[in-house]
Structure 1
């Protein structure tokens, strides 16, 4: 089973890069997660790799870029990105996403927002059609530390079940993001695709919220690696 999942991740990542990375592209966003490992590997095999600048979404993707001999950039230097490749914790029928299982959601959304195109790569387990159906850990929400109690109360009023993400066993206390913030994982149950944008707006409006792990209207394509070796391509 583990081999099938790993194979499907590599298939989807390689296909996404092969289909969408054009010779005219110069600035590439490289996301986070286990599937993106293969994206960085494939981009690193490009014949024009010396012409490319890769913008990471966090520490992990920064290391992937370096390890594959690619040139490192930043959103400060390159606020306009030609194309970005990223993974997802879950994907719905509208290509709405839950992201942030690895606590990189702010930088992932920043790179996505800077990109002319966001291509999602994932294995078949992430393609459930409804956010919250397969991903039961809740919507990741990055919050300013001083506001986590207030934001937790506000999220409960919105119908969620908020939990501050713990760093245990590696770290005593909450997980701290690359930006020095906390993560609240808030379970809203299954979120119908038509209601994702509204929920995202309500959460974003709360004082103390930096960003949500709901990605609405950002992904244009998704490449899903299936257990049988085939790839499902989805577009909006």
Structure 2
């Protein structure tokens, strides 16, 4: 099984658990493809066998977090700076499972008011910053060059800069926006991950229903709770991806943080919202 290893706080806990399971013999025949240098270093330190897209251009499954999720299961990713490699690995995966807490749910992408990253070449970066801001005047966009802790431009694993876009209103047409951003010379990649997620696993203050088991996050450290939720589902996916498809049911999720009602979606017996392909 070739597994895409995501980047970020949620993904880091998943990688830790995968390493522990490999060490204990609970997981075998796993090869990981990391989406950043820091994930590569973490996975290598845990003894997880690693590879690349060059050697494994086709992955069975990728697991990662997200910064925003809209009702169409479209995503904003890349606030951790790894958007290019994340998109390459996750686009090459048969299944892409996203794990978030319910604070990441938005009615429209850009709706959180937090950064939507765009990776650009260093050459004439300000030229592209101005052009990106002009693209989204109607959304009240403000474009800022991302800086590191020392106040210098943040440099990605690919030696590029990141321009963060901040919106006062959600992006009206994320598909059109993605095409317009990608068409700008000097833009390497953007943080709109559209029509890519197979499933989104949502943890919230009301708990998470998985085959009748409720994990109540209010009583657990959030990071630990996400691991408890993610790993059993991941193992189930790993076990069954190459065998039978999951049965499906429909559900509607009511949220109070700007998402009044999520669309009815196909859900596996694990309570996973499915989009790109049936699990």
> Can you give the 5+ residue segments of structure 2 that lack an aligned partner in the other structure?
210-270
Asked if 1 retains the 8 angstrom alpha-carbon contact of 2:61 and 2:95, the reply is: yes
Q: Does 1:181 align with 2:160?
A: yes
Listed one character per residue, the Cα deviations across residues 210-233 of structure 1 (whole Å, up to 9, x for unaligned) are: 000010011110001112331563
Q: Which stretches in structure 1 are left out of the alignment for 5+ residues? A: 1-25
Cα drift, residue 48 of structure 1: 6.1
1:38-67 alpha-carbon deviations (Å, 9 max, x no partner): 322343326563411100000222133224
Deviations 1:135-162 (A, max 9, x none): x233100000003122112112212321
Q: Give TM-score scaled by structure 2 length.
A: 0.69
CA distance in 2, matches of 1:122, 1:73: 26
- 2:194 match: 216
Out of 145, 154, 167, the residue aligned to residue 164 of structure 1 is 145
Specify the SS of the correspondent of 1:122: strand
Indicate the residue corresponding to 2:69 in structure 1. Answer: 91
CA contact (8 A) 2:154 2:161 kept: yes
The 5-angstrom pairing of residues 8-27 of structure 1 reads: 26-27=1-2
Cα-Cα RMSD: 1.8
Contact 1:166 1:174 in 2 (8 A): yes
Q: Conserved in 2, the CA contact under 8 Å of 1:92 and 1:130? A: yes
Higher relative contact order structure (alpha carbons within 8 Å, sequence separation ≥ 6): 1
On the 8 A contact 1:28/1:55 being kept in 2, the answer is yes
Q: Whose radius of gyration is greater, 1 or 2?
A: 2
Residues 60, 228 of structure 1: alpha-carbon distance in 2 compared, 3 angstrom cutoff: farther
Q: Per residue, is there more helix in 1 or in 2?
A: 1
Q: Distance in 1 between matches of 2:45 and 2:101?
A: 23
What is the distance in 2 between the residues matched to 1:107 and 1:151? 21
Question: For each residue in 1:115-171, what CA deviation from the matched residue of structure 2 results, as whole angstroms up to 9, or x when unmatched?
Answer: 11111011111122322222x23310000000312211211221232100111xx33
Contact kept in structure 2, 1:49 and 1:70, CA below 8 Å: no
Are the counterparts in 1 of residues 111 and 167 from structure 2 also a CA contact under 8 Å? no
**Partner residue, 1:72:** 50
Secondary structure of the 1:150 match is helix
Query: Scaled by the length of structure 1, what TM-score is found?
Result: 0.81
How many equivalent residue pairs? Answer: 207
Tell me the distance in 2 between the aligned counterparts of 1:207 and 1:147. 11
Does residue 225 in structure 1 map to residue 203 in structure 2?
Answer: yes
Q: Does 1:129 align with 2:103?
A: no
Check the 8 A contact 1:50/1:70 in 2, yes or no. no
